């Protein structure tokens, strides 16, 4: 158990809908990272928050947004869903605003299926 909690574990929704994925970081970790892993592909970095503020952006679509709340949990909002958004979504957390010389821990992911 990494200490990072993601909910829900599975989500099935229709095209055009909007969903919210939730991530609770490890106790004491201030950074939350979101990743997308499509079928048979590597993890793509989406976005990072540190202590409530957006710190870095990767290949995140405009239809996707995220935020980190005062209690440090984070939510990833996916809207106007398309079939191609079906993927595993992982979050990770770390103590610092960058991994350098610290490790990050991943949750078990949310499997999103868009039908």
Partner 1 sequence: DAKTTQPTSMDCAEGRAANLPCNHSTISGNEYVYWYRQIHSQGPQYIIHGLKNNETNEMASLIITEDRKSSTLILPHATLRDTAVYYCIVRVNAGKSTFGDGTTLTVKP
Closest CA to 32 of 65, 88, 73, 77: 73
Q: Which stretch, 10-18, 21-29, 72-80, 89-97, contacts partner 1 (CB under 8 A)?
A: 89-97
Closest CA to 73 of 19, 22, 18, 9: 22
Closest CA to 53 of 72, 27, 29, 34: 72
Nearest approach, Cβ of 16 to partner 1 (angstroms)?
A: 26
Interaction pattern, residues 20-59, with partner 1; x per rule: CB under 8 A: -----------x-x-x-x----xxxx--x-------x-xx
Nearest approach, Cβ of 53 to partner 1 (angstroms)?
A: 15
* 3-class secondary-structure state, position 83: helix
Per CB under 8 A, residues contacting partner 1 are 2, 4, 31, 33, 35, 37, 42-45, 48, 56, 58-59, 88, 90, 92, 94, 98-101, 103-109, 111
């Amino acid at each position: 158990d990494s200490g990072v909690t993601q909910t829900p574990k599975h989500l099935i929704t229709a095209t055009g809908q909007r969903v919210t994925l939730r991530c609770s970081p490890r106790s004491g970790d201030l950074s939350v990272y979101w990743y997308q892993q499509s079928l048979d592909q590597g993890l793509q970095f989406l976005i990072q928050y540190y202590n409530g503020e957006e710190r870095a952006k990767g290949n995140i679509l405009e239809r996707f947004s995220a935020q980190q709340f005062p209690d440090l949990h984070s939510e990833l909002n996916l809207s106007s869903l398309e079939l191609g958004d079906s993927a595993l979504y992982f979050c990770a957390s770390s103590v610092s605003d960058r991994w350098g010389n610290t490790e990050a821990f991943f949750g078990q992911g949310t499997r999103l299926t868009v039908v």
